Structure 1
């Protein structure tokens, strides 16, 4: 009998060691999946890598171009493309190694970058002597594939439909009372239609479901700016929403139920309900907020503040600012991606990273921790019971 109990105890101790090791392994994997925020510091010409969970800057990456402004991260989270209206080169960053990887010469300054859903192509919004044009980059080779004209006017920002079928470019007309969005077929480079919006448009983003596009209009000569809501199927204007003074950027909550608009003229963020197209909240942040991005889980939003050299952290449940992280000088563009070290994770048969992220959303680990806790508690109780039987 004592021999059998000894064998059981040995097995229990082994199970406890295994459970402890598994718990540590899960903790390590969770740490690797912690999203990192990349903040472009325009005046420092570098990028701050921010651990938003612990509210600290992990490192900085040289941009390799003068006064970078915008940043876009590839769908797999491996690369970041930086653009600047002061540079004719696109900088490519390796987010796994946190270093400059390449420079792509365009011969024209650029306003922004969007990736195709697969990440195989990057579309660059450029301004040429003849007007706005879009440069197409092969992201495997970092080579310019082609360039097609969009408008006789300069363009200022661009968005892509979630299915990759359409590009939307903001046209800058010389007449300040005219604002338009060019709807483009990226496969042919053809402008399909132009949609009238507000004046001095500064940003456009497409709803996660692809049904709507929000255009931010600074309306510089008015007391408040607006957001034009476009039905992407009919290309009709569905609504116009009044927001704060001199709005700058817009971002959609991952669930699609809300949109946040930064108002650089009054230091606030307008919260828009996307079902009613009405402002349902105003969050005070800091002076001249610029870019805004959401955590993949939707729990927080992060806003760059160029005058304070900081990144504000907003709790989306309470719509309150819960601290800030000091970054570099004149932070501008902001993007968020899972830790670049995940790029080395083995691929599953479905092409997704095994056990880390599915469709860009972190797998909840609360159930894993609950199961491990029950296992450890059960094994501990069995171990103690065996000790009592042995006297």
Structure 2
């Protein structure tokens, strides 16, 4: 009877199945299950789940706030949905569901400068959500088809996205536009007018053609280049971010490239695939394939532990997350975190 009571109490407290009654660790691995529609909080030391929280319809990507107290989940559905689920990681429950209205198909996520940035595929746009005001406070249309993943650079002065069906990436640079004053010598009926909010800001978009079906991409730790995985032709496009152009296309031979990640030291580039059983590893400097790590039938999300010691890979068909030692590039463990795991994130409570 006591066990049943604890289970019921846990269900009430977490808002979902109460198989766990442990506090969220200071550092935690977050795993989304698309089928179960849950976010699992995992202790990265024991590799055991400590809580499961509802994550909304068709959860695909997840990111943590800078203070590690909240997680944001995109509810995708190829445009069928238009919500972002906010999870309180300390209380282990949904804090709120944000309706982003016409910004349908939210997918890629980034947390920067205290705000959540996300792609909206159907709207062909990117947008920003303010957790303080609980409002979407900025939207920018890109005019590209299926804007999918997003990276926001330090200071939020540059943003990069992949656009799957357009076969492009967008590089967006924030610029200050000098206001045009009156023509010298001309009469004006607004002699006392002062621009109330300072000089206007604009965004310059550079559209770079890459391979077919670009989805996952990663920016090198030094910010000099981006590797883009082209899922439909199995190639990798390397973009020089200063020149804003493709400088090399690697015939990687990886059909269904899904996600791309650098290790924190910038030495290795990791690529998952929806259509082969490996995590493929490239040496970033030589651009050469150095290892194919068997992980399961296929793989999706990739996350590298902040200290670079381990790699986590969502093996969706196998209902597990593979844990890989970065030094040996061998699978050293498995995490059970629901059916068809996908998006991964790391949260550090500060």
2:241 to 227, 232, 239: 232
Aligned twin of 2:93: 99
Structure 1 residues 251 and 172 mapped into 2: Cα distance closer, same or farther (>3 Å)?
A: closer
After superposition, the C-alpha distances for 1:316-367 in whole angstroms (9 at most, x for unaligned) are: 11000012011111111011122x4xx3xxxxxxxxxxxxxxxxxxxxxxxx
After superposition, the C-alpha distances for 1:247-284 in whole angstroms (9 at most, x for unaligned) are: 11011111111111112211101111122222122111
User: Size of the alignment, in residue pairs?
Assistant: 297
Q: State how far apart, in whole Å, the 1-side matches of 2:75 and 2:91 are.
A: 23
What secondary structure does 2:280 align onto? strand
Structure 1 residues 163 and 240 mapped into 2: Cα distance closer, same or farther (>3 Å)?
A: farther
After superposition, the C-alpha distances for 1:48-99 in whole angstroms (9 at most, x for unaligned) are: 1112321211111111x21111111122222211002222111111222222
Structure 1 residues 32 and 96 mapped into 2: Cα distance closer, same or farther (>3 Å)?
A: closer
Aligned twin of 2:12: none
Contact 2:24-2:50 at 8 Å conserved across structures:
no
Aligned twin of 1:275: 285
Structure 1 residue 239: Cα displacement: 2.0
Matched, 1:113 2:123: no
After superposition, the C-alpha distances for 1:227-251 in whole angstroms (9 at most, x for unaligned) are: 2111111112122223323211011
Q: State how far apart, in whole Å, the 1-side matches of 2:26 and 2:313 are.
A: 19
TM alignment of 1:1-391, pairs within 5 A: 35-63=27-55, 65-86=56-77, 87-107=81-101, 108-116=104-112, 118=113, 120-128=114-122, 131-173=123-165, 179-185=167-173, 188=201, 190-219=203-232, 222=233, 225-243=234-252, 244-338=254-348, 340=349, 343=350
Structure 1 residues 302 and 196 mapped into 2: Cα distance closer, same or farther (>3 Å)?
A: same
Aligned twin of 2:190: none
Structure 1 residues 32 and 123 mapped into 2: Cα distance closer, same or farther (>3 Å)?
A: closer
Structure 1 residue 195: Cα displacement: 0.7
Structure 1 residue 190: Cα displacement: 2.7
Structure 2 residue ranges without an equivalent (≥5): 1-22, 176-200
Structure 1 residue 35: Cα displacement: 2.9
Contact 1:41-1:332 at 8 Å conserved across structures:
yes
What secondary structure does 2:90 align onto? coil
Q: State how far apart, in whole Å, the 2-side matches of 1:67 and 1:104 are.
A: 15
Structure 1 residue ranges without an equivalent (≥5): 1-30, 344-391
Contact 1:291-1:303 at 8 Å conserved across structures:
yes
Contact 2:75-2:85 at 8 Å conserved across structures:
no
Aligned twin of 2:197: none
TM-score with structure 1 setting the length? 0.72
TM-score with structure 2 setting the length? 0.80
Structure 1 residue 186: Cα displacement: 5.2
Structure 1 residues 115 and 256 mapped into 2: Cα distance closer, same or farther (>3 Å)?
A: same
